[in-house]
Amino acid sequence: MITPGELIQLVSPKGKRYLRVFDPEEELHTHDGKLKLKDICELTYGQCIASHLGRNYKVLKPSLYDLLKSIERKTQIIYPKEIGYILLKLGIGPGSRVIEAGCGSGALTMALAWFVGDQGKVYSFERRPEFKTLCVKNLTRVGLLHRVELQEKDIEEGFAVEGADAVFIDVRTPWDYLDQVLCAVKNGHPFGFLLPTMNQVARLLAALEAKPCTDTEVLEILLRRYKPVPERLRPEDRMVAHTGFLIFSRAQR
């Protein structure tokens, strides 16, 4: 049974997706007619409800991927293909205490909050109030805000958090904040960065060389989707050629 308050995803016959916190009182008005969400109470995931015009909408359980795809964005966000690797490299799991900056629209914040669980904490920093507000809105919508301590602050001032298990920095000039990162992260633990250009990566690497750190790695992740047609299995015609470069290192004081 699907209970009120759960996150649900409705998918139209043409594949349009609607993410909702399930409220049986709600009526959803679509191009296919009106859907009475109270009909969902009788269903399990994978079943369909019909609009008043008789069009079927699938009711699916949203994954973290679906949540990330649906966030309202006013900044560049980190995409799922990078987020997956970031989580593994930073060792994020239940109970982790992780620092990130800037939060921007909150895509990475959401993924970190999802994985740290109720025992962990995400310490997130953002210097622009409008983006902090947007991040709060995106986290609230999916019920993850309570796992995040969000501060409106320039990370130039430092994090005022010690002994973090990991740090991730997504700002334009990360080489300016390496002392703050190294002060906050536990010795031997990982920290990472995302940068859009190679020039920035080279500048960051030069700055890292002068700091007490080890195990530095630079990479990018390319994702090629395929048309899921068994008789003509082939890649999609277009792909996103570039999102960003990832850089990881560890504190070695």
Ligand X SMILES: C[S@@+](CC[C@H](N)C(=O)[O-])C[C@H]1O[C@@H](n2cnc3c(N)ncnc32)[C@H](O)[C@@H]1O
**2's tokens:** 């699907």
Quote the least distance from Cβ 149 to ligand X, whole Å. Answer: 14
What span, in angstroms and rounded, lies between the C-alpha atoms of 126 and 170? 10
CA 210, 216, 218, 221: dihedral to nearest 10 degrees? -150
159 lies in the site for ligand X, by CB under 6 A: no
The 109-148 site mask, x for binding ligand X (CB under 6 A), equals ----------------xxxx--x-----------------
Q: Side-chain half-sphere of 239: how many Cα atoms within 13 Å?
A: 12
Q: Which CB atom, from 155 or from 251, has the smaller least distance to ligand X? A: 155
The 2-41 site mask, x for binding ligand X (CB under 6 A), equals ----------------------------------------
Among 25, 118, 156, 231, binds ligand X (CB under 6 A): 156
Quote the least distance from Cβ 147 to ligand X, whole Å. Answer: 16
What span, in angstroms and rounded, lies between the C-alpha atoms of 5 and 252? 45
Residue numbers at the binding site for ligand X (CB under 6 A): 75-78, 101-102, 104-108, 125-128, 131, 154-156, 170-171
